[in-house]
Amino acid sequence: MKNIKKIFITVLIIFTFTSIAYAGRYAGDFMLIGPGVRAVGMGSAFTAVADDGSAAFWNASGIAQMQRPNLEVMRAFLYENLAAYDFVTFSIPLPAKTTIGMSYTQLSIDKIPIYDEKWLVYNVDVRSSDVDLQLTGDPDGYFTSRDQVFKFVFAKNITQVINLGWDLFELPIEYYGGAVFKYIKRNLYDHIGTGTGFDLSFMMSTDFALLTDVEWLGKIKFGTNIQDIAGTAISWDTSSKHSDEVITGVRYGLAVDQQLDFINSNCIVSFDWGEMYDFKRHLGAEFTYNDIISVRSGIDDEQFTAGLGLKFKNYMLDYAFINNTELGATNRIGLRIDL
């Protein structure tokens, strides 16, 4: 039973380590919108699934599950079409069960009006008596705000078979570990803020049938993702050298991946919980028929989500709808390609 104790201690250490990482101040919330289409269609309950390119955000260790190089692109419009949200990622498996990936995320808002402060040197009485100084309400110009995140991802898979004794069974366990280095760049009017940060993630998967002695059950997976370990500072090129701090965020996930051979289908049910500024829960499900069409749905912190995926050869076209009161009802579309 020593091996079981080792597994328990490992999971306990992960929970203990991630639980101390909650302190911090508010900044960098744009990075928590969450890229990808499939994940969002599943209610953002993706920490223990994370088997496509968007894992760079949800759980970087998950890219080690990929068997082939993967390219993914996404576009969405947020805040009632005021902002564009773009994401592109590429991952490639390497020898020794390692995988590397790169991703780029951008949130941009165009045509933000500028009102020059030079008109404010005159008080209301002066402006009201001089027609040339009266404010028209027309902007003096426009600018574009861009928030960008560049990520480099490394993930490793380790397989272990736990021997539970001659009268029991051997339990295969897949361990995945991932790390992310990210560079953040924010453009606001004529100022730039930059910073670097690190994420760590972990995932483990095993055969649910062996654990329960129910032959038809599939896999059970657990994952955790720690974003911006120890906080991430974004330094601005202002005269005051202002610096924002991106707080540490932690998420946990649990998923069951069930093959339904009698209808040539697959079903995933997942649950996420954790703190990203405040505590949230996420529930999601995906049903895939004949590896061609996928139907998704979920609850993202009390907001309903839905999604659809269509696969043709190595191409997967994804769509998601998110009913979110903060960002407005959002439609996302994306393309995934297995190379």
What mean pLDDT is predicted for residues 31-42? 91
Under 8 Å between Cβ of 250 and 19: yes
- The β-bridge partners of 236 are 193
Q: What is the pLDDT of residues 210-240, one digit of tens each?
A: 777 778 889 999 999 999 998 888 999 888 8
The per-residue pLDDT for 273 is 95
Q: Is 203 exposed, middle or buried (0-12, 13-18, 19+ CB in 10 A)?
A: buried
* Residues forming beta bridges with residue 173, ordered by sequence position: 160, 206
Residues 6+ apart with CB under 8 A from 20: none
C-alpha to C-alpha distances, 177 to 64, 79, 219, nearest whole angstrom: 8, 35, 18
> pLDDT tens digit string along 116-128?
766 666 666 666 6
Q: Residue 121 has what pLDDT?
A: 66
Q: Which residue has the higher pLDDT, 109 or 255?
A: 255
Name the H helices within 122-267: 124-129, 208-212
**Looking at residue 214, what is its pLDDT?**
78
CATH code of domain 2-113+144-338: 2.40.160.40
In Å, how far from its chain's centre is CA 146?
19
pLDDT at 6: 45
> Mean pLDDT over all residues of the chain?
85
| Mean pLDDT calculated for residue range 97-126 | 82
The residue type at 36: G
What is the pLDDT at residue 215? 80
Mean pLDDT across 235-249: 87
Q: Please give the share of the chain, as a percent, with pLDDT higher than 70.
A: 82
pLDDT of residue 14: 40
Q: What is the mean pLDDT of residues 6-24?
A: 40
The residue-averaged pLDDT of 322-335 equals 80
Nearest to 7 by CA among 243, 173, 133, 153: 173
- Of residues 58 and 129, the one with the higher pLDDT is 58
Q: Name the pLDDT band for 2 (thresholds 50, 70, 90).
A: very low
pLDDT of 20 higher than 60: no
Paired tokens of 265: 């289908």
So what's the pLDDT on residue 18? 42
Helix H or strand E encompassing 175: strand 170-188
2-16, 95-109, 183-197: least confidently modelled range: 2-16
Confidence of residue 91 (pLDDT cuts 50, 70, 90): very high
Please list, in sequence order, all residues whose beta carbon lies within 8 angstroms of the beta carbon of residue 299, skipping any fewer than 6 positions away: 43, 281, 282, 283, 284, 305
Tens digits of residue pLDDT in 280-328: 899 999 999 999 999 999 999 888 999 999 999 999 999 999 886 666 6
> Bigger pLDDT: 278 or 99?
99
d(CA 58, CA 15): 17
Residue 120 makes CB contacts below 8 A (sequence gap 6+) with none
pLDDT computed for residue 15 by the predictor: 43
Question: Could you give the 3-state DSSP secondary structure of residue 327?
Answer: coil
Confidence of residue 114 (pLDDT cuts 50, 70, 90): confident
Looking at the predicted structure, is the pLDDT value of residue 13 above 70?
no
How sure is the predictor about 243, in pLDDT bands with cuts at 50, 70 and 90? Answer: confident
Buried/exposed 122-147: b ≥16 CB within 10 Å, e otherwise: eeeeeeeeeeeeeeeeeeeeeeeeeb
The DSSP code for 329 is S
Q: What percent of the chain has pLDDT over 90?
A: 55
How is residue 52 annotated by DSSP?
S
Q: How far is CA 188 from CA 75, 142, 192, 247, in A?
A: 21, 12, 6, 21
